[in-house]
Amino acid sequence: MPCFEGLLVSPRSSPRKHQQGRGEHERWCQLRRDAFKQNKKTILKGNMTSNMDKLFFAPQLLINNGVKDISFYAKAFGATENLCLYNDDGSIHVAELSIDGIIFHIHEVTKPYFFSPGKHNGTTCIIGLFVPNVHAVMNNAIQAGAKEISPAKDYEYGYRQGEIEDPFGHHWLIEKKIS
């Protein structure tokens, strides 16, 4: 159910908040529809992260076009959704997610030189996620649909690490400094 022709915009900080605040979401969508009909540009102000005063790193993980469900990140890592832009078919164009304040984006492939990991059955990077309990996070991720690449273990260089592949082909190194 698109908020206006071609794009559904859904700002929310978590799935639970979105369900509780459905009336506010509908009011916001109506404002967007009205602005669109009047051909006015509207600045999106939802809960999008703004860290203009400091340097930070926010990777964009590419997904295949047509993906409609990215709940894996909430189930596996407790990620919250700050912002999500949907295509008119209900698939995700881009989503801004946060894991304990760490921002990253999920984005559909939009350029010929961008590709999701599945296109070449590999990846060009691995996402390192430092956590207090490597085993617990790995177990959560696997239960949410990740594939274990290497089990968590302690390494001589002072890290406990395990590697998983998420349902979209991205590799995550779940880790903790132990010495």
Q: Tell me: the pLDDT tens digits for 127-138?
A: 999 999 999 999
- Tokens found for residue 93: 């164009």
Quick one: which of 105, 96, 102 has its CA closest to 48? 96
3-state SS, one letter per residue, for 67-99: CCCCCHHHHHHCCEEEEEEEECCCCEEEEEEEE
Q: Which domain holds residue 176?
A: 122-179
**Boundary residue ending a domain (114, 139, 155):** 114
pTM comes to 0.72
128: left (phi over 0), alpha (psi -120 to 50) or beta: beta
The pLDDT value recorded for residue 17 is 33
Q: Mean pLDDT throughout 105-125? A: 92
Check whether residue 103 and residue 155 sit in a common domain.
Answer: no
Q: Mean pLDDT throughout 149-171? A: 97
Q: 37 or 111, which is more confident? A: 111
Residue 13's SS3 state is coil
Residue at token pair 């390494």: 155
DSSP run (H or E) holding 26? helix 22-37
Confidence of residue 89 (pLDDT cuts 50, 70, 90): very high
Check whether residue 67 and residue 108 sit in a common domain.
Answer: yes
DSSP run (H or E) holding 31? helix 22-37
The pLDDT value recorded for residue 41 is 33
Confidence of residue 52 (pLDDT cuts 50, 70, 90): low
Check whether residue 106 and residue 130 sit in a common domain.
Answer: no
**Boundary residue ending a domain (114, 140, 158):** 114
Check whether residue 42 and residue 73 sit in a common domain.
Answer: yes
Q: Mean pLDDT throughout 53-82? A: 93
